[in-house]
């Protein structure tokens, strides 16, 4: 059943989906029209029915994977049909409903990189071109790194909407090495505020080698992205816990950042790192003498903790999701769960931008214009804020310690697409392409997405919006809130979620109606009970 208010909201939502920059004349788009548009993106057979595979295939074309947890309910419904079945339109709509917001955005081409397959074609092309570059030298200070084939080369990317693409050796694990530094910095910042943390570690580029025996003028390590700063950072993570619990904590964070995929650990790398760590021990003792560590720090176990963190293993696929979580301000795109505070990510990206690429950091910021962090295993994590995370892995390093192909890839990417931090200044840079949706569209999305998810009963979609900091009290131009829509459509679980999050329980729409009025009008007993228990009141408006 549809009330007049929610019909208006549907019209608003549908209007905002129409292409073109000029506002279209108001058009009443019914549910049926909307559903037809949605299904139009799916392959139908001659009889107008839809094979089950059509849905995962269409989602795969825009980079969404069938095992994505954000699609779990719909994929579960789809699995109830035999694979050679042919679904009616109504059956397919029922399949889509529980994850309607994400699926609809995907099918109507409004994920952050709408033309995902063309973008990926270019990434594949760059991979192919840069694969031919055989210069550089694999790190050989420990045998475990020296043994890795220089031909290994993988690139994975994940957008802030969880669109994923991989080419090359993207499922093989490598030790993350210095890529642990930004992650540990984030972990420490979640525990200490910025000022407290930076009493121990500075935030200026050092202009020196990553393991050089030097501190800044205040006798602190220059920043958390070089060895001295990273060792000091380790001393600030759960300092009062056992070493085992501290390491578990770091591993848990890696897993959450990677969309609940466990990180690996190489004991052999750890043992080798510890054995060849004279410089890191020297840095440790130097910092101890200068009073860098908090009182009570055990230096040897702090260093061991640091070597363990360098020996964490990831693959390109998993690390791209980690980078995407940074790109999305701390919300993991593939789970929709907030892992880090936006302020933490802001601090981390700032330091990756200025200090993440060893002695090439200034040059990288100048020519590539993106926050990044490289590791001696040949890993390179790059963040395109608000768009995507990228991981490139290719072991041969240039003399400054960065992956040769990694840098080549970034140069080529930024020559084609306007990803450099300052490419948006316009003018002469117009020849570069912009693969992302415009920001204005994303703003319109917030209120329409909220209203649409609420009217569809898409709880996961709402949780996702909450994780992104969307205000659940937002209303459309008719004053209709998500709670009005969920109440008028009888979605008890969604109403409970809104109530549980403390939204205004009695907002009035432009006709003076509250959500309770909507629930009564639709005779939704369950919703009425939840609302009344939470103290909802009728609005007492004239019914229309
Ligand atoms: N394990 C290495 C070290 O601490 C990591 C350095 C790196 O990746 N640059 O020396």
pLDDT of 326-358, one tens digit each?
999 999 999 999 999 999 999 999 999 999 999
The alpha carbon of 177 and the centre of ligand 1 are apart by a number of angstroms equal to: 5
Instruction: Give pLDDT, residue 448.
Output: 83
Instruction: Give pLDDT, residue 276.
Output: 95
CATH 3.40.50.720 at 1-30+438-544, yes or no: no
> What is the distance between the alpha carbons of residues 216 and 225, in angstroms, rounded to a whole number?
14
> What is the distance between the alpha carbons of residues 486 and 492, in angstroms, rounded to a whole number?
8
Please name the CATH architecture into which domain 120-427 falls.
3-Layer(aba) Sandwich (3.40)
* Beta-strand runs (E) in 385-426: 388-393
Check: CB of residue 372 under 8 Å from CB of residue 381: yes
**Ligand 1 neighbours (beta carbon < 6 A):** 177-178, 210-211, 227, 273, 280, 310, 375-376, 401
Tell me the whole-structure pTM to 2 decimals. 0.85
Q: Which of 392, 422, 391 is nearest to 404 (CA)?
A: 392
- Tens of each residue's pLDDT in the chain, 544 residues: 344 444 444 444 443 333 333 333 334 445 667 677 778 778 777 788 999 999 999 999 999 999 999 999 999 999 999 989 999 988 999 999 899 889 988 988 889 999 999 999 999 999 999 999 999 999 999 999 999 999 999 999 999 999 999 999 999 999 999 999 999 999 999 999 999 999 999 999 988 778 888 899 999 999 999 999 999 999 999 999 999 999 999 999 999 999 999 999 999 999 999 999 999 999 999 999 999 999 999 999 999 999 999 999 999 999 999 999 999 999 999 999 999 999 999 999 999 999 999 999 999 999 999 999 999 999 999 999 999 999 999 999 999 999 999 999 999 999 999 999 999 876 656 678 899 976 555 556 788 888 888 988 888 888 888 887 888 999 988 999 999 999 999 999 999 999 999 999 999 999 999 999 999 999 999 999 999 999 999 987 544 4
Q: Which of 227, 228, 393 most suits a substitution to test ligand 1, by most atoms within 8 Å of the C-beta?
A: 227
Q: For ligand 1, atom 4, which residue shows the shortest CA distance?
A: 227
In the chain, CATH 1.25.40.20 covers 1-30+438-544
CA distance between the termini of the chain? 15
- Token duo for residue 95: 């399949």
The alpha carbon of 323 and the centre of ligand 1 are apart by a number of angstroms equal to: 19
In the chain, CATH 3.40.710.10 covers 120-427
Q: Which atom of ligand 1 is nearest to the CA of 311?
A: 1
Question: Which sign does the torsion angle of CA 94, 96, 101, 105 carry?
Answer: negative
Give, in degrees to the nearest 5, the angle at Cα 113 between 111 and 115.
105
């972990």: which residue's tokens? 187
In the chain, CATH 1.10.238 covers 42-107
Check: CB of residue 401 under 8 Å from CB of residue 226: no
- Token duo for residue 100: 């309607």
Pick the CATH number of 42-107 from 1.10.238, 3.30.70, 1.10.3470, 3.40.1620: 1.10.238
């Amino acid at each position: 059943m549809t009330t007049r208010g929610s019909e208006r909201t549907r019209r608003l939502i549908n209007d905002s989906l129409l292409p073109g920059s000029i506002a279209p004349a108001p058009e009443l788009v019914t549910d049926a029209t909307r559903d037809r548009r949605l299904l139009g993106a799916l392959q139908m057979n001659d009889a107008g029915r839809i094979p089950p595979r059509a849905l995962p295939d269409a989602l795969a074309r825009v980079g969404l994977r069938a095992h994505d947890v954000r699609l779990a309910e719909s994929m579960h419904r789809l699995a109830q049909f035999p694979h050679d079945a042919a679904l009616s339109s109504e059956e397919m709509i029922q399949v889509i409903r529980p994850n309607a917001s994400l699926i609809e955005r995907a099918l109507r081409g409004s994920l952050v990189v709408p033309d995902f397959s063309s973008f990926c074609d270019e990434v594949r092309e760059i991979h192919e071109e840069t694969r031919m570059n055989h210069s550089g030298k694999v790190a050989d200070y420990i045998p475990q790194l020296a043994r890795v084939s220089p031909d290994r080369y993988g690139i994975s990317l994940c957008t802030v909407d969880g669109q994923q693409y991989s080419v090359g050796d993207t499922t093989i694990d490598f030790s993350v090495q210095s890529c642990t530094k930004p992650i540990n910095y984030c972990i420490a910042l979640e525990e200490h505020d910025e000022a407290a943390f930076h009493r121990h570690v500075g935030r200026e580029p050092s202009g020196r080698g990553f393991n050089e025996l030097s501190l800044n003028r205040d006798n602190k390590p220059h920043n958390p992205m070089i060895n001295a700063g990273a060792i000091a950072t380790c001393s600030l993570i759960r300092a009062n816990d056992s070493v085992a619990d501290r390491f578990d904590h770091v591993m848990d964070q890696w897993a959450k950042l990677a969309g609940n995929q466990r990180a690996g650990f190489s004991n052999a790398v750890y043992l080798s790192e510890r054995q060849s760590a004279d410089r890191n021990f020297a840095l440790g003792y130097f910092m101890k003498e200068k009073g860098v560590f908090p009182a009570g720090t055990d230096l040897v176990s702090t260093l061991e903790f640091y070597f363990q963190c360098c020996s964490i293993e990831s693959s390109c696929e998993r690390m791209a999701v980690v980078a995407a979580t940074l790109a999305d301000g701390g919300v993991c795109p593939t789970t929709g769960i907030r892992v880090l505070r936006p302020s933490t990510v802001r601090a981390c990206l700032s330091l990756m931008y200025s200090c993440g690429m060893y002695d090439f950091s200034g040059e990288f910021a100048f020519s590539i214009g993106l926050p990044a962090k490289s590791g001696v295993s040949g890993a390179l994590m790059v963040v395109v804020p608000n768009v995507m995370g990228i991981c490139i892995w290719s072991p041969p390093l240039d003399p400054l310690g960065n992956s040769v192909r990694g840098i080549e890839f970034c140069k080529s990417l930024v020559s084609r697409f306007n990803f450099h931090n300052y490419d948006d200044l316009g003018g002469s840079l117009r020849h570069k392409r912009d693969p992302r949706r415009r920001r204005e569209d994303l703003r319109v999305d917030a209120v329409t997405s909220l209203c649409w998810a609420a009217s569809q009963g898409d709880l996961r979609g709402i949780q996702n919006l909450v994780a992104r900091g969307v205000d659940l009290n937002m209303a459309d131009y008719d004053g209709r809130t998500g709670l009005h829509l969920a109440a008028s459509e009888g979605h008890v679980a969604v109403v409970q979620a809104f109530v549980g999050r403390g939204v205004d329980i009695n907002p009035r729409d432009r006709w003076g109606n509250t959500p309770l009025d909507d629930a009564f009008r639709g005779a939704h007993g369950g919703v009425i009970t939840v609302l009344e228990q939470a103290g909802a009141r009728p609005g007492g408006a004239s019914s229309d």
